[in-house]
């Protein structure tokens, strides 16, 4: 499912959709411009994505409400370049089978992935200048490296549940992080 290059689209309303067997792409894809007017995601029943989930270049999107039922992404979860995005809260998300990328959001204040227990690949959270809080306190298993870098306002990082990482943990160049 691809929703992209719609300059006036304000809402993605697929309220009955529970499962996507392949990729779900909301926003920029290769040569396109995203959905600059998109303000809300009407995907309230979506619980599983069988491929990757990409939410990119939706400059009017302030949060990910509408994805509150999402439990599993069986591919990569990528959330880059959404200029108005203030909060990423996916309260039921438990598993990302591949990589998790969150980057380049000038307004992002918090990332809360409280049910997340495993990521099969790497986690990269970087270049989010306003980001103050990352809470993935139930993340236990990480199949790759973890890079949290260049988030200048970050003051709270909770990865206390992490007990197995298959590669390196990099936490650097977060100017405000003290503990």
What are the pLDDT digits (tens) for 121-139?
A: 999 999 999 999 999 999 9
Whether the predicted pLDDT of 30 surpasses 90: no
The model's pTM is 0.96
CA dihedral sign, ordered 36, 41, 43, 47:
positive
Burial class (CB in 10 A: 0-12, 13-18, 19+), 57: buried
CA dist., res. 70 & res. 1, Å (int): 16
Which pLDDT score is estimated for 116?
98
pLDDT band at 33 (very low <50, low <70, confident <90, very high): confident
pLDDT band at 164 (very low <50, low <70, confident <90, very high): very high
Whether the predicted pLDDT of 32 surpasses 80: no
pLDDT band at 81 (very low <50, low <70, confident <90, very high): very high
Percent residues over pLDDT 90 in the chain: 95
pLDDT band at 120 (very low <50, low <70, confident <90, very high): very high
């Amino acid at each position: 499912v691809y929703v992209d290059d719609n300059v006036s689209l304000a809402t993605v309303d697929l309220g009955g959709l529970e499962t996507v067997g392949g990729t779900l792409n909301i926003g920029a894809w290769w040569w396109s411009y995203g959905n600059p007017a998109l303000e809300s995601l009407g995907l309230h029943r979506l619980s599983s994505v069988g491929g990757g989930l990409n939410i990119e270049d939706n400059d009017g999107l302030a949060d990910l409400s509408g994805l509150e039922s999402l439990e599993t992404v069986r591919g990569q979860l990528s959330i880059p370049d959404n200029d108005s995005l203030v909060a990423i809260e996916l309260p039921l998300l438990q598993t990302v089978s591949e990589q998790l990328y969150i980057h380049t959001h000038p307004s992002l204040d918090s990332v809360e992935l409280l049910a997340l227990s495993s990521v099969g690949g790497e986690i990269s959270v970087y270049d989010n200048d306003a980001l103050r809080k990352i809470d993935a306190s139930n993340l236990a298993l990480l199949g790759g490296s973890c890079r949290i870098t260049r988030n200048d306002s970050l003051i709270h990082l909770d990865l206390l549940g992490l007990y197995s990482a298959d590669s390196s943990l990099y936490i650097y160049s977060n100017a405000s992080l003290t503990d």
